[in-house]
């Protein structure tokens, strides 16, 4: 039986000749107790389709067609687009809940995550006592895989990792047991094992809801592997048009549309050049440890011991080599990258051990000396939009490092270098005067790569460089990084929770758990013959074995 049905839905912006359709003539339905995935690249109209039933579309959007909602107790259907906003507010949360893509902007920074979950329950179920709400909130945090849920209940959003924030938001959405859950990229910030935990949780809650008819789930994602494991049906959007839909297995094994075929075949390709036998070591750590002072006290005069995030990590990175760093959220991956980059010195972090960069002890260098060496050690961040200044054009962004490290270059020489670097990453001169918001996610990441490479570094730290990108764009960016590595003999330290990316890009893999290296070795050997149970579980979750 149908729970939600889109009939000839169109969403457009502008008017007259300037009218542009983000979604055009969409027909799609979600059955009671059914799991449907809506996939497509950025700009395909997925998120707008998800927002429309709750009337959360952006200001200026024109919505036409029908969105039919099956009311409770067999009372027929109602067109959500024809209801007044007051009636829609009664449906939001109680009957249709949503998990948004970016948890940091969806959670209130002034309230603890526990209070936010309690607030959701109290609004929609006012007769439940606060103590029962507290117990239910802690139980949901536990079910979504958050460690120490009793303690995390009192944490503010900024005190949680990205993955933990996402899990807290899922707990909040599920608190009222909605009839339909719309999940917009709900596992983007999670590592592979936690993704499976969340999917299993959603299936479990769906089973529990069978007494009420069964909760329907509309999943918005570009993670095709996740769709294979979770969805019963899949619909493929391209530029707002439904290209193909049907049972998941059928669409993945026998796609009929060329666009779907391209998506299905967009797995990263391993094209690594071998590391030269006598390649010099460019980056080396010995027993690198990082700890943060605890804000809690064990008595009036004694504070709790520091929380150790990284514990005696040692490795060597050679010229032309890529080492992949994997592990669950909170394993210390990003902290390792920050420590290597020397970006923990001004924080409260307690750093010990040695970091050797190009033969120099990174920890003992004076600030002036370290600044001079930064051109040799660059970083590409996870979010290309957040890492690029919206107030600077591409010329200013890419040339900023030249102004600092090569101040004697003339304006003409500086522009020539920028244009040449943009060509290297697949962009042309016309990009110089444009701003980040005028580019797609893949293009913005190319700009970030150009900004890092224009200083001719020898080492690049890549922190989740493709997690914010669609699968086809991800494949393009990884191919570009591989090509640039071969051309300039670069050394990469790549941090990711996407094991397909690690397999495609890395010569060796380092597996972190609770800040410790539990396994380290050749990528293919480690994937085929993992020794540790933790590593086996990671690979099994990603279906790489």
What pLDDT was estimated at residue 466?
A: 83
- C-beta neighbour count of 247 within 10 angstroms: 12
> Does residue 88 contact residue 80 with C-beta atoms inside 8 Å?
yes
Query: How confident is the model over 185-221, as pLDDT tens digits?
Result: 887 666 777 777 778 878 887 887 777 778 999 999 8
pLDDT computed for residue 545 by the predictor: 39
As a whole number of angstroms, the distance between CA 311 and CA 512 comes to 10
End-to-end CA distance of the chain: 38
pLDDT tens per residue across span 400-432: 999 999 999 999 999 999 999 999 998 999 999
In the chain, % of residues over pLDDT 90:
48
Among 280-284, 301-305, 329-333, name the most confident range. Answer: 280-284
Per-residue pLDDT at 223? 77
Q: What is the mean pLDDT of the segment spanning 145-159?
A: 87
* pLDDT value, residue 221: 85
Q: Would you say residue 167 has pLDDT above 90? A: no
384/236: higher pLDDT: 236
Per-residue pLDDT at 346 exceeds 60 = no
- Give one word for 325, left, alpha or beta, with left for phi > 0 and alpha for psi -120 to 50: beta
**In this predicted structure, what is the pLDDT of residue 383?**
75
pLDDT band at 544 (very low <50, low <70, confident <90, very high): very low
Between 384 and 507, whose confidence is greater?
507
Of the candidate ranges 83-92, 228-237, 341-350, 449-458, the one whose mean pLDDT is the lowest = 341-350
- Kindly tell me if the per-residue pLDDT of 25 is higher than 90: yes
pLDDT digits (tens, 9 = 90+) for 490-503: 999 999 888 888 99
Q: What is the C-alpha separation between 243 and 157, in angstroms, rounded?
A: 38
Q: Flag whether pLDDT at 124 surpasses 70.
A: no
Which residues, other chains included, contact 507 with Cβ-Cβ below 8 Å and sequence gap of 6+? 272, 275, 321, 322, 323, 522, 523
Mean pLDDT of 134-163: 86
Confidence of residue 301 (pLDDT cuts 50, 70, 90): low
Pairing relationship of beta strands 491-495 and 516-522 according to DSSP bridges? unpaired
Q: 23 Cβ partners below 8 Å, 6+ apart?
A: 9, 10, 11, 45, 48, 49, 52, 237, 240
pLDDT value of residue 127: 65
- Global pTM? 0.77
* pLDDT of 24 over the 60 cut: yes
- Rg of the chain in Å (alpha carbons): 25
Distances (CA, A) of 477 to 442, 444, 472, 484: 7, 11, 9, 11
- Torsion (CA) 189, 191, 192, 195 in degrees, nearest 10: -50
Using the predicted structure, report yes or no on whether residue 163 has a pLDDT greater than 80: no
Digit-coded pLDDT (tens) for 497-542: 888 889 999 999 999 999 999 999 999 999 999 999 999 888 877 6
What domains sit in the chain, N to C, each tagged with a CATH number? 281-294+306-384+459-542 (3.40.50.300)
Q: How confident is the model at residue 347 (pLDDT cuts 50, 70, 90)?
A: low
């Amino acid at each position: 039986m149908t729970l939600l049905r889109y009939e000839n839905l169109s969403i457009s912006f502008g008017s007259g000749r300037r009218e542009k359709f983000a979604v055009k003539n969409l027909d799609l339905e979600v059955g009671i107790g059914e799991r449907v995935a809506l996939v497509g690249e950025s700009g395909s109209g997925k998120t707008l389709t998800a927002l429309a039933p709750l009337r959360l579309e952006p200001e200026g959007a024109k919505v036409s067609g029908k969105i039919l909602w099956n009311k409770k107790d067999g009372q027929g259907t109602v067109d959500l687009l024809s209801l007044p906003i007051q009636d829609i507010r009664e449906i939001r949360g109680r009957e249709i809940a949503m998990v948004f893509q970016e948890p940091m902007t969806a959670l209130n920074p002034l309230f603890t995550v526990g209070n936010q979950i309690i607030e959701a329950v109290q609004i929609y179920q006012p007769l439940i006592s606060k103590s029962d709400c507290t117990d239910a909130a802690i139980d949901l945090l536990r079910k979504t895989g958050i460690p120490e849920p009793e303690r995390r209940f009192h944490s503010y959003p900024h005190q949680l990792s990205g993955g933990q924030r996402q899990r807290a938001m899922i707990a909040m959405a599920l608190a009222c047991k909605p009839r339909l859950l719309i999940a917009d990229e709900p596992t983007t910030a999670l590592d592979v094992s936690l993704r499976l935990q969340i999917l299993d949780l959603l299936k479990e809650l769906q089973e529990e809801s069978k007494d009420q008819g069964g909760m329907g789930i509309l999943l918005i994602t570009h993670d095709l592997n996740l769709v294979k494991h979770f969805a019963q049906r899949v619909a493929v959007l391209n530029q707002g048009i439904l290209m193909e839909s049907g049972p998941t297995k059928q669409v993945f094994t026998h796609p009929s549309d060329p666009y779907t075929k391209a998506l299905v075949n967009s797995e990263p390709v391993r094209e690594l050049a071998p590391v030269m036998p006598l390649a010099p070591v460019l980056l080396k750590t010995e027993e690198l440890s990082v700890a943060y002072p605890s804000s809690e006290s064990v008595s009036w005069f004694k504070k709790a011991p520091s929380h150790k995030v990284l514990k005696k990590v040692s490795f060597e990175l050679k010229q032309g080599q890529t080492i992949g760093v994997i592990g669950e959220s909170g394993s210390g991956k990003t902290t390792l990258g920050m420590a290597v980059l020397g970006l923990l010195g001004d924080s409260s972090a307690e750093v010990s051990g040695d970091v050797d960069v190009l033969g120099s002890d990174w920890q003992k260098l004076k600030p002036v000396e370290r600044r001079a060496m930064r051109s040799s050690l660059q970083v590409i961040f996870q979010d290309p939009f957040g890492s690029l200044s919206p107030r600077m054009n591409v010329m200013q962004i890419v040339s900023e490092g030249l102004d600092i490290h090569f101040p004697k270059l003339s304006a003409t020489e500086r522009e020539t270098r920028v244009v040449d670097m943009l060509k290297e990453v697949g962009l042309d001169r016309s990009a110089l005067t444009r701003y980040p918001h005028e580019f797609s996610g893949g293009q913005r990441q190319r700009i970030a790569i150009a900004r890092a490479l224009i200083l001719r570094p020898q080492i690049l730290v890549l922190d989740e460089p493709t997690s914010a990108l669609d699968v086809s764009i991800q494949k393009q960016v990884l191919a570009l990084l591989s090509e640039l590595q071969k051309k300039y003999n670069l050394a990469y330290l790549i941090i990711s929770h996407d094991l397909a990316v690690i397999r495609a890009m890395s010569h060796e893999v380092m597996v972190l758990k609770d800040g410790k290296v539990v396994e380290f070795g050749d990528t293919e050997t480690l994937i085929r013959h993992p020794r540790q149970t933790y590593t086996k579980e990671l690979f099994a979750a990603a279906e790489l074995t």
